[in-house]
Amino acid sequence: TGSAYGKDRVFLSSEDADVRQAAIERIKGHILTASDYPHAVVIIGLIKGKVSDCESRESYFANLIPALRECAEEAGKYQVYLGLEVINRYESDVINTVKEGLEFGSPWLQLHLDTYHMNIEESDIKKSIQSAKGKICHVHVADNDRWFVGHGHYDFAETLGALKEIGYTGAVSVESFGFPDMISS
């Protein structure tokens, strides 16, 4: 869903009702596609928009919350999770920490965590993961430099241990800029 915001400029918090509806319809289309696959997740990342796209923080949330609610209702019909991505402050000006992400949610709207973003924003990654027990539907892993696991200095043992401790059984997928080869590894 990232290109919806970056390329197509449709997002769930838009003050323009047509743009907002286009984003909702885009998410509904992804939900329908995902419904053919068990355990599918539709990521709600930058398609949520930014506060800076709106006149005020209040306006942002006044638009975002009903749009998320509509998308979550649709997701529930198809039993597809929506993963609200917690994104670092350099890429998004809202919902930057697990604590902020936990302010949202429904049975079908849960958190999508990403180690790259968590490394920037979370003061205690293990405690952040523990606080989200039962509310995480997807996890991306990349090292602190956004390269493959093991390229930098991120503590994956702590993160994977915390996920195991809280009983997380969903996917842990790699989202990195580079992959190991004979030169970069």
SS3 20: helix
In this predicted structure, the answer to whether residue 90 has a pLDDT above a threshold of 70 is yes
Burial of 79 (0-12, 13-18, 19+ CB in 10 A): middle
For the segment 36-64, the average pLDDT, to the nearest whole number, is 96
Q: What is the sign of the dihedral through the CA atoms of 104, 92, 127 and 152?
A: positive
CA 129, chain centre distance (Å) = 14
165 labelled catalytic: no
% of the chain exceeding 70 in pLDDT: 96
Active-site residue identified among 25, 58, 100, 175: 175
**Residue 99: both structure tokens together:** 């604590």
In this predicted structure, the answer to whether residue 3 has a pLDDT above a threshold of 90 is no
Question: Rounded distance, CA 115 to CA 121, Å?
Answer: 10
Lowest mean pLDDT among 81-95, 124-138, 150-164, 169-183: 169-183
Query: pLDDT tens across 51-79, in order?
Result: 999 999 999 999 999 999 999 999 999 99
In this predicted structure, the answer to whether residue 178 has a pLDDT above a threshold of 70 is no
The Cα-based distances of 129 to 3, 135, 155, 161, 167 in angstroms read 28, 9, 13, 10, 11
In this predicted structure, the answer to whether residue 148 has a pLDDT above a threshold of 90 is no
Candidates 141, 114, 112; CA nearest to 42 is: 112
Active-site residue identified among 70, 74, 85, 91: 85
For the segment 31-37, the average pLDDT, to the nearest whole number, is 97
pTM here is: 0.92
Count of residues for the chain?
Answer: 185
For the segment 38-43, the average pLDDT, to the nearest whole number, is 93
111 near 102, Cβ under 8 Å?
Answer: yes
**pLDDT band of 25, cuts 50, 70, 90:** very high
103 labelled catalytic: no
Neighbours of 61 (CB within 10 A): 17
